[in-house]
Chains A and B, each alone.
Chain A
């Protein structure tokens, strides 16, 4: 048996809990991801927690702040354009 397999043979809810973001982001090694999936599928509290975390992450991803910046003043935009044109002239 590979060390990585034995290491994660019996994952507890607490061990799962520490890895959930990487699990949701698909950033875990394949074998560990499989172990987590196996545990979560058979554990109602973990399913509930994973779903609530996933929902929370989805809300953050769709977050649209309600405060907009004041529009850039003409003078400020012209200042930025000058800096950009100066870069373009150096190319």
Chain B
């Protein structure tokens, strides 16, 4: 897509705008939290991209470059709104819970993930649970998860987009995934699939 855009191929502009308008809106909506802010960030980012397209050094890194502009636009929005300090996620908060069984064996409580919902209603419900789980993440973790897992950027591109090291991307991604897993873990329990204590 970047090569077509840079080469001014017919249709490249519309393809880029249609694809990235949606992607940037989704990223911004989950980052800023307000629909009107997200609409504005998506449009501002697209405009900045076209104004600064000759600054794109490596066409293969287009996506990282675009999201870097979007991330900065989101930061500007947040500075204008109420500032919420970033909360750190600790690994130990997400260690599987252990309890001692009556027989003295340690047990670990793990939800049964083999019964994920098949029908559309439950899938839609699960999607809402997932959306809420992502939205609840502290900013610095949410942006990493959105770029790595939702947008599918590589670790290096995510680091470039967010202007952090690859080690920080990996650390934040793992904590974000654990937090989302913990939220999703509650979902099967709600639909009566229960947990299975496993001896260790």
Contacts and interface: CB of A to CB of B under 8 A. Distances in A.
Given A55-B113, A69-B42, A49 B96 contact: yes
Is chain B's interface secondary structure helix, strand, loop, or mixed overall?
helix
Contacts of A14: 95
29 contacts: A14-B95, A17-B91, A18-B174, A20-B174, A21-B170, A21-B174, A22-B174, A27-B155, A45-B96, A48-B198, A49-B110, A52-B111, A52-B113, A56-B184, A59-B130, A59-B184, A60-B145, A61-B149, A61-B152, A63-B127, A66-B124, A66-B127, A72-B21, A76-B43, A83-B47, A83-B50, A84-B50, A87-B53, A88-B8
Contacts of A61: 149-150, 152
Contact of A44 (B39, B53, B95, B200): B200
Is chain A's interface secondary structure helix, strand, loop, or mixed overall?
helix
Given A21-B174, A55-B113, A87-B51, A80 B29 contact: no
Nearest to A24: B177
Contacts of B110: 45, 48-49, 52
A18 B89 CA distance: 13
Q: Which of B116, B174, B184 has the most CB of A within 10 A?
A: B174
A63 B134 contact: yes
Q: What class of interface size applies to chain B in its complex with A?
A: 35 or more
B92 to A, nearest CB: 9
Interface string A12-41: 011001101110010100000000000000
B137 to A, nearest CB: 11
